[in-house]
Structure 1
């Protein structure tokens, strides 16, 4: 038995657990994976998330290990179209931090284990959820055996393939897009240093982000969903669109992904709350998904604490649900804009689009507004 069950031990679930544990709440984190996340996956941590992570004391360690991206550069046809500084977006963290998800999760799990060495239970797969109005019981399997966990509140942060969401019968608004991307991490052969670079080319956008360890992530918008291949294909496409040579032998991660949006109609069902990708899946373009989950957790934690103290939080939970579903919808719309900006264009359309980008970026008020939107402010 525990005060709170957190189902899912990814970055959102671990952050949720740490928020509650530091207030003396008994938490059990149930995670299907038997080992830690080995891949880089999500890398962008935005200023509001760094503010939230500061609340559990891990932001300094993450900043020390990551790469603060303080500026973005837009390039088209071999010339710089725009520069965007993040200096004014936040007083405490005027940058987007690049840190591989594997390291983010490691730092968060270390903090959770500092607070309670027995909080994280790995190799646990939830198969059933029962709410009697006073407590929630989760049936699960672990090591081939049946186990049962009971708590006052359950928080599902078990990702886009959530097992809890269908158990609750939660309705989902779904939309699929024709956009498709290939991304990879390589040794950094550019002169961009800690800057992010967006190449607005007629064949489709190429995005480039610095990473720790002198690495750089490249993301290519595929001209056709059937395109794509190995690291060599990605390197060749980067060269064709940007003129930059990347060493295919230095590839350390390669992933192809399509895009879809999944927004739940309800985040709160009885004594169970869906947060993170379990509640809202949006396009990875823009890097807001993981951050949305952290902000869900930060908004939910005070309500959980109040509920455990005996307060009636029904109205507050409804307000939480309204605000967080609206935030996810805004992020989904922003991702649609990001994707539209990077789709293939005819030569004439490409020239018009790039002139418009350059003209807009030259207006300080517009440049600052876009910088704030890009960094989730």
Structure 2
């Protein structure tokens, strides 16, 4: 990637100020000048791609206030963990459209919680059209960084995730590479299936700080490689043949004992782009050495942490507060 600064990505829109994945969150992110926005995509019972961080929606919508849906509260095992609540795959799109978005962290982000219950759940198509229109209006290329959530799980329910998304992207005019599209997932197999369907995009593999990818666990069991093993020299060699880049939990950069010759440099030497998540200013999300004051909601030394990330030479950053992200990362490395 030939950029003097990282790509600035509105993570779920602008969730530092508006409930995540709501129309208001994305509109604000676009107004604040991000290079791209990041929707997480899951699927309804009738195969509609909708934008939610997880398929469980009890904490991010008003579903619990709808008595007609009370009987759908249940416990499910998703990607190896049990979750209790309401799940998008148990609703049709028409039913989900009756729900409204809520702030996930109301005690931490009280300003955002003031906007609860105002905005409906978004379909992916609505966001694709919104971003395309904004880019045309502003005369600049605004991208979408589309994260596919729980692909193996949804496949187990009978959804052909790649086919559904490919059809949606083609219908919206986002399949040909004319508009900047990144497709990312914690499951590499779905990235290959999207590529096989002819979708022209930049394919990014997400890696956690610990554990293993669920699609690999499902296929290989205890023999599945860990994320740490995938970030060794041999692992990066293999990834460089299969994806365009990687996206890392920021701890993998901030805690890397190799410093300037760490994982970012190793990936770059193999031609891989490197993104990182998530740049947030609140103490609750900062590494301990950058926290200030006594409350989780207070802003700590976020600039200090972000400077470490910028100095590592990353190619893309996910931000919850787009105004801060644009102001900080929008300067070239020489200006910082």
TM range (shorter): under 0.3
Q: Which structure shows the bigger proportion of residues in strand conformation?
A: 1
Q: Please say which structure displays the higher CA radius of gyration.
A: 1
Which of the pair has the greater relative contact order for Cα pairs under 8 Å at 6+ separation? 1
TM-score (norm 2): 0.26
TM-score (norm 1): 0.24
